Structure 1
Amino acid sequence: MDTKIKLQQGDITKLQVDAIVNAANSSLMGGGGVDGAIHRAGGKQILEECIKIVDRQGRCKTGKAVITSGGNLPAKYVIHTVGPVYNGGKNVLKEEEQLANCYTNSLMLAFDNGIKTIAFPNISTGVYRFPKQRAAEIATETVDIFLENQEGIDEVIFICFDDENFGIYKKLLAV
């Protein structure tokens, strides 16, 4: 694994990084879990910017990403990405590809905006029910491959809110 990849446990809304990634829903209007926490902590500016994005381009499709300011957050930016809803493995290859796209498209947006430090939550592992182990494997593999092929991003943090995800990432990253 790339040495630029770090692991932390805690609250993504408290991180002082250039950008945090929001596991958003396609409406970009906030919701539960990390999405709701980011919107609450970031304030109305993030929601207003999301409304403008939706007015301009429509809903954000699964696997895609958009960027807003960080509002009241310590992070300068929020990259909103829509993870796949896990449907019990019925369309697992498509869902895995969509999840990988969340990470790749978020990192491309970060790169395009000169972002040097970025933090990811555990995308799709909450109400979207993606199996945590497989989601972590996809996340770490995708980020590692991106960093191998792209200069410009100095640090990627996987921040886990719960003990289970933290333990999974700790084993995968061997930290």
Structure 2
Amino acid sequence: MTNITLALGDITEQSVDAVVNAANSSLLGGGGVDGAIHRRGGSDILDECRDLRASRYGKGLPAGQAVATTAGRLPARWVIHTVGPVFSTTEDRSATLASCYRESLRVADELNALTVAFPAVSTGVYRWPLDDAARIALTTVRDADTAVTEARFVLFDQRAYDAFETALNALPPA
């Protein structure tokens, strides 16, 4: 069973086996978590992302999928890039958001990563409501069949931390 923990802070400072990046489909960096990971991790991450774009992901990484690269200068061993869905009021994309977490854990298992730090995928520029994103993320990770021993949700501000804490405390028993 995966131990779920919450932390308030900077995901780029987490000493874990793998850090999950809330990437955009280009894999070439962007704003928010994605930009912070690329800046702090350095050019090795971008170089591997470019190689992925030149080979398997010529059209970009589809939403809900995940792929790993080196972590460069981050204190983690790997970065697992996942592309969250943009929130929509007219289309239920929650299965795609859940897939981000499941696929990230699948990649972590392939890497034999036991500790994984997650951001709140899709809650920034993709506008997913925090309370709903927290419920989906925590339920998906709790219910996943994975060898990961710790899933650490690293929340950038108090508002996000509070939303995840409330959702974690409201989870029904597994």
Structure 1 length as normaliser, TM-score? Answer: 0.93
SS of the residue 2:55 aligns to: helix
Aligned partner letter, 2:90: K
Residues in 1 aligned to 2:149 and 2:158: alpha-carbon distance in whole angstroms: 26
1:90 maps to what in 2? 90
- 100, 106, 110: which one aligns with 1:112: 110
Alignment of 1:67 with 2:68, yes or no, is yes
Q: Deviations over 1:41-92 (max 9, x none)?
A: 00000000000011111210000001001000000000000000112x1112
CA RMSD, aligned part only? 1.2
Structure 2 length as normaliser, TM-score? Answer: 0.94
1:80 maps to what in 2? 81
Residues in 1 aligned to 2:126 and 2:167: alpha-carbon distance in whole angstroms: 22
Alignment of 1:167 with 2:162, yes or no, is yes
Residues in 2 aligned to 1:49 and 1:82: alpha-carbon distance in whole angstroms: 16
Number of aligned residue pairs: give it. 168
User: Structure 1: which 5+ runs fail to align?
Assistant: none
Residues in 1 aligned to 2:118 and 2:54: alpha-carbon distance in whole angstroms: 26
**Cα 1:21/1:3, change in 2 over 3 Å:** closer
* Percent identical: 48
Higher-helix-fraction structure: 1
Q: Is the 8 A contact 2:2 2:148 kept in 1?
A: no
Aligned partner letter, 1:161: F
Task: State the 4+ residue runs in structure 1 displaced beyond 4 angstroms.
Answer: none
